[in-house]
Amino acid sequence: MPITDTITPAGTYYRPAAPARVATRRRLLMCRPRHYDVTYSINPWMNPQLATDNALAVRQWEGLRDLYLDLGHVVEEIDPLDGLPDMVFAANGATVVDGRVYGARFRHAERTAEGPAYLRWLEGRGYKDVLWPEYVNEGEGDFLTVGRRILAGTGFRTDPRSHLEAQEFLGLPVTSLTLVNPDYYHLDTALAVLSDDEVMYYPAAFSPGSQAVLRAMFPSAILASAEDAAVFGLNAFSDGRHVLLPAAATGLHAQLRARGFEPVGVELSELLKAGGSVKCCTLELRDR
Ligand code: ARG
């Protein structure tokens, strides 16, 4: 028994059921959904025929932003641009690791202008180490940092050649993962980072080879049910203790609690109409 274990007054050993979780303050970039709408369809969730409620989208988004602020995080905002209804999904704007900015290059023409918009904002904030990318990649939608390594998705949006481009520029090992289900078109819709060495994911969203890679890297990961994945439960943000995720992903809430995390349910139904939720709205500015 390690000497760090707590000894109760009675002299018996007490081992907490789950590790104590420690939150660390994060710097986040968000984009108010002022021009949010579903006017085109580039993923199976988007149906331009269905009505969206912009005022409700803004209120729900403000709820998420206020949660971050209440938890002590720093939230920066980039001005939304007219004609870019998906710009609210800040996660796609870039990948920022150790203060280095690997820019995004979008797959679809409808979102192309977002790449330079985010890069200019970041350059304006003083980031000097900035790479305007050669290959298509959709930022933190497909690049997720786990401690000192990066998981990178491909299959629908991000060109696998960008994985090597990112590895070379960011100087961290990048592991490629192939997505196979169009409902989970970005890595951050099928996998969430919980701590420096823990993730949760939906296995069926990945190719058999990538499922084997994930099992090898994270043998005790939380595995999501099809139901929790379908309500975007994996599109989550963790500060190491609090995990913000869609309220409807009740199975994941219970699994997270059992591991000592504090799940916080968020309602972002309007943004789900574009195929996005908590994590999509959040770009983490990982400075050195
Ligand atoms: N409508 C957007 C698209 O299809 C949603 C992006 C969601 N963002 C994300 N990080 N998964 O590109």
Write the pLDDT tens digit of every residue in 81-123: 999 999 999 999 999 999 999 999 999 999 999 999 999 999 9
Flag whether pLDDT at 3 surpasses 80.
no
Under the banding of pLDDT at 50, 70 and 90, the label for residue 288 is confident
Give the mean pLDDT of 251-275. 98
Q: Structure tokens of 139?
A: 């930022």
| Burial class of residue 50 (count of CB atoms within 10 Å of its CB; 0-12, 13-18, 19+) | exposed
Give the mean pLDDT of 124-138. 98
- Specify the residue with its C-alpha closest to ligand 1, atom 7: 276
8 A C-beta contact, residue 44 and residue 182 = yes
Write the pLDDT tens digit of every residue in 229-249: 999 999 999 999 999 999 999
Q: What is residue 223's predicted lDDT score, i.e. its pLDDT?
A: 98
Name residues contacting ligand 1 (CB within 6 A).
Answer: 42-43, 46, 86, 89, 91-92, 111, 141, 186, 188-189, 274-276, 280
Write the pLDDT tens digit of every residue in 160-215: 999 999 999 999 999 999 999 999 999 999 999 999 999 999 999 999 999 999 99
* 182 CA distance to ligand 1 middle (Å): 12
Write the pLDDT tens digit of every residue in 201-232: 999 999 999 999 999 999 999 999 999 999 99
Per-residue CA distances from 164 to 119, 130, 280, 283 (Å): 20, 16, 23, 21
CA 143 from chain center: how many Å?
A: 9
* 10 CA distance to ligand 1 middle (Å): 55
Give the mean pLDDT of 10-23. 68
CATH of domain 27-284: 3.75.10.10
What atom in ligand 1 is closest to the CA of residue 91? Answer: 10
What atom in ligand 1 is closest to the CA of residue 235? Answer: 11
CA–CA distance, 22 with 189 (Å, rounded to integer): 25
User: What is the average pLDDT score of the chain?
Assistant: 95
DSSP 8-state symbol, 69: H
Q: What is the pTM of this model?
A: 0.93
Flag whether pLDDT at 1 surpasses 50.
no
Q: What is residue 36's predicted lDDT score, i.e. its pLDDT?
A: 98
What atom in ligand 1 is closest to the CA of residue 108? Answer: 12
Flag whether pLDDT at 13 surpasses 70.
no
Flag whether pLDDT at 10 surpasses 90.
no
242 is catalytic: no
Flag whether pLDDT at 150 surpasses 50.
yes
The residues with which 198 forms a beta bridge, in sequence order, are 195
Give the mean pLDDT of 274-282. 98
Closest CA relative to residue 282, chosen from 91, 2, 52: 91
Closest CA relative to residue 141, chosen from 100, 66, 88: 88
186 is catalytic: yes
Active-site hit among 163, 186, 242, 253: 186
Q: What is residue 5's predicted lDDT score, i.e. its pLDDT?
A: 43
Q: What is residue 37's predicted lDDT score, i.e. its pLDDT?
A: 97
CA–CA distance, 275 with 280 (Å, rounded to integer): 9
* 93 CA distance to ligand 1 middle (Å): 10
Give the mean pLDDT of 59-83. 98
Flag whether pLDDT at 48 surpasses 80.
yes
Q: What is residue 65's predicted lDDT score, i.e. its pLDDT?
A: 98
